[in-house]
Amino acid sequence: MRNSLFELMNRQELISQIQQKKSFLCIGLDVDLSKIPTHLLAEKDPIFEFNKQIIDATHHLAVAYKPNTAFYEAYGIKGWQALEKTINYMNVNYPELFTIADAKRGDIGNTSTMYAKAFFEDLNFDSVTVAPYMGSDSVEPFLAFENKNTILLALTSNKGGLDFQGLKTENEELYKRVLKTALTWKNSNNLMFVVGATKAEYFSEIRKIIPNHFLLVPGVGAQGGNLQDVCKYGLNKDCGLLINSSRGIIYAGNNENFAKAAQKEAKKLQQEMEIILNENS
């Protein structure tokens, strides 16, 4: 199950999917064994079984899926195998979906290359999240992969995000410096950026610097971010947003009907998105 078997994801395919599904929803697959329905624990691979049922029930409502690798690494080899089965399942059965490994990597150049190979070549994700703290030579190895996206942390959703990202450097906040500097890097057209939904008041400033790039926006749902507020200043002519909700969707139910409950929550967000897209078309 490697690159050549699948149509490679690019920006245009993502935009077409948004238009067809009238959705810019990304569902976070953050599987915690203590939160999934107990009947699944009898399965050989409970994590994969949970993901499979969530994906099957919601793939028509979402354009992207984002497993956060921490939730797989925490279970050792079995967790990593479940992650591999999950990405393969999506690539084989729903190749139109945009897949995001939320791994927040980034290291010296040769190490970043190995991280990029792990997520882009071995696992065949469309994109991976990367931290900008180590600078250009830590990110460019990811950007070197054609038809793959590197999603750089810019302004994160957590409260402590502003501890550093909000610091003024030469009269502008560090997150703005990150955005501007990243645009100068080789293959910067392969970049997307993480901006938290809890920071909605920053979107208009951010769009002045990066009017065209896609933004991955976590923080709607469990963290209290508001979809309408984000869209007011974050949308661009191609939509340009992937709104993530993890716990708010995948743990909507915790019995045999969990996938239906997740579908219901995903549908609520998709319907809100459809209205927003129509209003902005």
Ligand X SMILES: O=c1ccn([C@@H]2O[C@H](COP(=O)(O)O)[C@@H](O)[C@H]2O)c(=O)[nH]1
Whose Cβ is closer to ligand X: residue 163's or residue 279's?
A: 163
Per CB under 6 A, 222 contacts ligand X:
yes
Fill in the amino acid letter for 235: L
CB 244 within 8 A of CB 26: yes
Beta strands in the chain (DSSP E): 25-28, 64-66, 98-105, 127-130, 149-155, 168-169, 172-173, 191-195, 215-217, 241-245
Using CA atoms in the order 159, 165, 171, 177, what is the torsion angle rounded to 10 degrees? -150
Whose Cβ is closer to ligand X: residue 220's or residue 277's?
A: 220
Q: Which stretch binds ligand X (CB under 6 A): 5-13, 47-55, 153-161, 178-186?
A: 153-161
| Residues from 249 through 278 that contact ligand X (CB under 6 A) | none
Per CB under 6 A, 221 contacts ligand X:
yes
Per CB under 6 A, 46 contacts ligand X:
no
Residue 278 C-beta: closest distance to ligand X, Å: 25
CB 73 within 8 A of CB 79: yes
Residue 254 C-beta: closest distance to ligand X, Å: 15
Task: Tell me the chain's radius of gyration from C-alpha atoms.
Answer: 18
- Single out the residue of 99, 124, 165, 244 in contact with ligand X (rule: CB under 6 A): 244
| Residues from 93 through 112 that contact ligand X (CB under 6 A) | 102
Over the window 59 to 88, marking each residue x when it contacts ligand X by CB under 6 A and - when it does not, the resulting string is ---------x--------------------
Q: Which stretch binds ligand X (CB under 6 A): 37-45, 50-58, 133-141, 215-223?
A: 215-223
Whose Cβ is closer to ligand X: residue 138's or residue 244's?
A: 244
Whose Cβ is closer to ligand X: residue 245's or residue 263's?
A: 245
CA distance 245 to 226: 11
Per CB under 6 A, 149 contacts ligand X:
no
Which residues have a catalytic role annotated? 104
Number of helices and strands (H, E) in the chain? Answer: 12, 10
CA 211 to chain centre: 19
Give the H or E element holding residue 96.
none
Q: 100: helix, coil or strand?
A: strand
Query: Which residues of the chain form contacts with ligand X (CB under 6 A)?
Result: 28, 30, 68, 102, 156-158, 194, 196, 218-219, 221-223, 244-248
